[in-house]
Structure 1
Amino acid sequence: MADIISNFPNDILCYILSFLPSQQVVATSVLSKRWNLLWRSVHSFDFDFGYHGRSIDTYEVDYYRFLFSMSSFLVWRDRNQPLHRFRLRCRSIFHSTSTCADIFNNFTSKSIKTAVSGFGRVQHIDLNLDSQMVMPSVVFTCKTLVVLRLAHITLSEISFVDLPSLKILHFDFVTVSEDLNLSQLLSGCPNLEDLEVKNMVCESKGTFVRLPKLVRASIDEHLLPLETVKNVEVLFIDWVMPPICPRNLDIDFLNLVELQLIVRFREDWPGVLRVLKHCPKLQTLVICINKINPELFVASYKEEDVRPYQQSVSACISSHLKSCCLKGYSGSVDEFQFARYVMENAKYLRTMKICIFGGKINMIRELFSFIKRSDICTLSFGYG
């Protein structure tokens, strides 16, 4: 059988290899002389080390082999070739010991600086480290950076942010030092399109700049004023309810077509309805029901205890909603009532999905008995 792929130009082969983990990329060097040095020109650094599924007897040896393989990759690769992507996930049990942590953090910091400076021209940085490593400040002045995803890392001593090409910014379990705040970080990202900030420890102070090109946002509500995300098309938000602060309800989300909210108490549902009145073009609604003990909610009150909704039907429900999903549905009366409300009023609804969490069978059956406003609506069930 002819080896067709080896006849491709080096640029195409390197592009294909850039989608593989770096250790697999290096392994291709044994295929033939044609592939012997090809890995050195690949434009990505992609390493992943986890502790799950590893033998405790060989764990330490595996960990240091991993560090050695990362170091060798950077030492032997062609330094005249740019690094476009730098991805590192290292969840090590040794990060709790100072020596191992220092070795890893120093190496990672130097590697990131190499990727950003000189011939680096890095476009994509993705780090999930499970450590207290401080992100090199030089990253925040990288004019070529398009994607920045950080998890379990610390930001400190960042005096200036200038990321004119950045389109995707995701922070998860990121700790920001007292001398920094989120508004300062976002001020240097004028072309941001996708923003995700959650599980963060930081100050929310200063005047937040408008992000005119922002399309998608996933945020913890206390971290950002809603003015910052009011023009997005897709919004996932951990909204603290009840009560919803009146200032939040003054904001209209005129471009919003997809919304995901979290409900923790039965009293949250009227608040959800008030929010929907400010989303006139909404087409997709996902409600994540996250009650502490849903079984207690089912047994703690009777159906007659739940009062009918007093608000008029919002424009998005009556004229635009096409898809609705209730996750964590336990069959409590408040959940049942909201599901019925949507199906009886959404005349363009196409799909209604109920993801069950310990729901009562009789309430699930009753959902099928509703007279649906939409003739094309499909009711389906799942778990979760």
Structure 2
Amino acid sequence: MMADDIISSFPDEILCHILSFLPTKHVVATSVLSKRWKFLWRSLPFFDFHYDGDLFDYDRNNEAYSHFLHSVDSFLLSRDRDEPLHRFRLRSDSTYGHPVSIQRWITPAVSGSVRHLDLCLDWGFVMPSVVFSCKTLVVLKLTFIRVENTFSVDLPLLKILHLNNISSPEGLDLSQLLSGCPNLEDLEVKGFISTTKGKFITLPKLVRASILEDLLPLEVVKDVEVLFLDSKYQQILDFDFQNLVRLELILQLSKDWLGVLEVLEHCPKLQTLLICIYKSSFDTFLAGHEEVVWSYPQSVPACISSHLKTCSLKYYSGSIDEIQFASYIMGNAKYLRIMKICIDSESHFTFGEKLHMERELSSCMKSSDTCTLSFEYSS
């Protein structure tokens, strides 16, 4: 029996699962394979369309986008409406939005049994508030979207909430939004314009959080196991992250390594630490001047001496303060297995300079006999 015949003999639910990994336009194309596939796509419980615009050709982009909208309309009109739509994913890079069409697609989806809603559009589209009272939603991911003033939030099944570059004419109340998500496990907030009128509730089931703006009290995420945080978060920590095992920090040009160690003092069980070191043109201007040397603290955070297994420094440049921190970690982390140094692949270091970086750190004392020092180049 031919391979394609074997696949065609699978039950509908298995074929649908296989097709769920493909963009919808490719799924529809399978209708020409055989009679077995001709109408299968009409009963699929997912919707996944992605449009890549041509920013340099207005006429071509406008024509292509109109064709894209027509394709989406045709799919939604042709599919079996008696079949539930569980996943709705729409991504568009075009600036020639048709908000009426898009809203016409989304409203029926959230009025049905949709579980996964993932939208990445443009600022011209305003998300209807009905989305925030969809009782079947488990995953909600919104990117580059304006949100109507939301008076009621009721998302009892929501486990994953990602908000990336969200704006609101009146300022969406983040405290109100989170209060309507009692079962949230994964929270990501970045580029969010918010007003806070109410009190933030604790999220007892939250496992992962990524917070890149000073938008909510860190105490709200104190029970997570994985945390992504911007070091500019200027909040006094008077509690510990008792469950935290992985921390990713963005370290800005201030290079506040002592601030990093202060945060680590409140992460007693931390096993994995990743620090992204970002530099600005101001750092470049200061290149060649005397670099910052920081004083080692008198005590070592408990997580470093007792639990830390992996430490990664991304966008490492070999400055004195970076060498100091890497040396401090290797010299005090008794159970460290991996010290990973990631150098920007677009950096202009010569081969000799890179080799010097490697030798400099390789000569540092290691407290752990099993520690491996590795160098790689990241984009």
Distance across 1 between alignment mates of 2:259 and 2:76: 53
2:106 paired residue number: 112
Instruction: Please show how residues 1-384 of structure 1 align to structure 2 within 5 Å.
Output: 1-2=1-2, 3-52=5-54, 58-94=60-96, 101=97, 104-117=98-111, 120-178=112-170, 180-240=172-232, 244-245=234-235, 247=236, 249-266=237-254, 268-293=256-281, 294-302=283-291, 306-357=293-344, 358=347, 360-361=353-354, 362-384=356-378
- Shift in Å, 1:333: 0.8
2:149–2:168 Cα contact (<8 Å) kept: no
Aligned letter for 1:76? S
Aligned letter for 2:320? V
Distance across 2 between alignment mates of 1:259 and 1:279: 9
| SS of alignment partner, residue 72 of structure 1 | helix
Distance across 2 between alignment mates of 1:55 and 1:221: 35
Deviation larger for 69-78 or 18-27: 18-27
- Shift in Å, 1:186: 0.6
1:168–1:195 Cα contact (<8 Å) kept: yes
2:53–2:65 Cα contact (<8 Å) kept: no
- How many residue pairs align between the two structures? 368
Aligned letter for 2:117? I
- Shift in Å, 1:261: 1.1
Distance across 2 between alignment mates of 1:261 and 1:371: 25
Aligned letter for 1:373? S
| SS of alignment partner, residue 187 of structure 2 | strand
Distance across 2 between alignment mates of 1:176 and 1:319: 45
Distance across 1 between alignment mates of 2:297 and 2:23: 56
Any gaps of 5 or more consecutive residues in structure 1? 95-100
Deviation larger for 326-335 or 342-351: 326-335
- Shift in Å, 1:208: 0.3
2:87–2:116 Cα contact (<8 Å) kept: yes
Distance across 1 between alignment mates of 2:243 and 2:342: 27
Give deviations 1:57-116, integer Å, cap 9, x for gaps. Answer: 63332211111000000001100000000000011132xxxxxx3xx2111111111112
- Shift in Å, 1:265: 3.4
| SS of alignment partner, residue 288 of structure 1 | strand
- Shift in Å, 1:132: 2.3
- Shift in Å, 1:5: 1.5
Give deviations 1:185-211, integer Å, cap 9, x for gaps. Answer: 111000000000001122244210110
Give deviations 1:339-372, integer Å, cap 9, x for gaps. Answer: 0000000010010111124565434321000121
Distance across 2 between alignment mates of 1:263 and 1:276: 14
- Shift in Å, 1:10: 2.0
Aligned letter for 1:326? L
| SS of alignment partner, residue 278 of structure 1 | coil
Distance across 1 between alignment mates of 2:12 and 2:374: 49
Distance across 1 between alignment mates of 2:287 and 2:309: 29
Distance across 2 between alignment mates of 1:6 and 1:55: 42
Deviation larger for 10-19 or 53-62: 53-62
- Shift in Å, 1:11: 2.5
Distance across 1 between alignment mates of 2:213 and 2:88: 30
Give deviations 1:31-71, integer Å, cap 9, x for gaps. Answer: 11121111110001110001259976633322111110000
- Shift in Å, 1:263: 1.5
Q: 1:43 to 1:313 in 2, by over 3 A?
A: same
Distance across 2 between alignment mates of 1:254 and 1:195: 18
1:97 paired residue number: none
| SS of alignment partner, residue 329 of structure 1 | coil
Aligned letter for 1:39? W
What's the % identity of the aligned pairs?
59
How large is the RMSD of aligned CA atoms in angstroms?
A: 1.9
2:55–2:61 Cα contact (<8 Å) kept: no
Q: 1:227 to 1:205 in 2, by over 3 A?
A: farther
Aligned letter for 2:182? P
Any gaps of 5 or more consecutive residues in structure 2? none
| SS of alignment partner, residue 162 of structure 2 | strand
Aligned letter for 2:288? A
Deviation larger for 163-172 or 221-230: 221-230
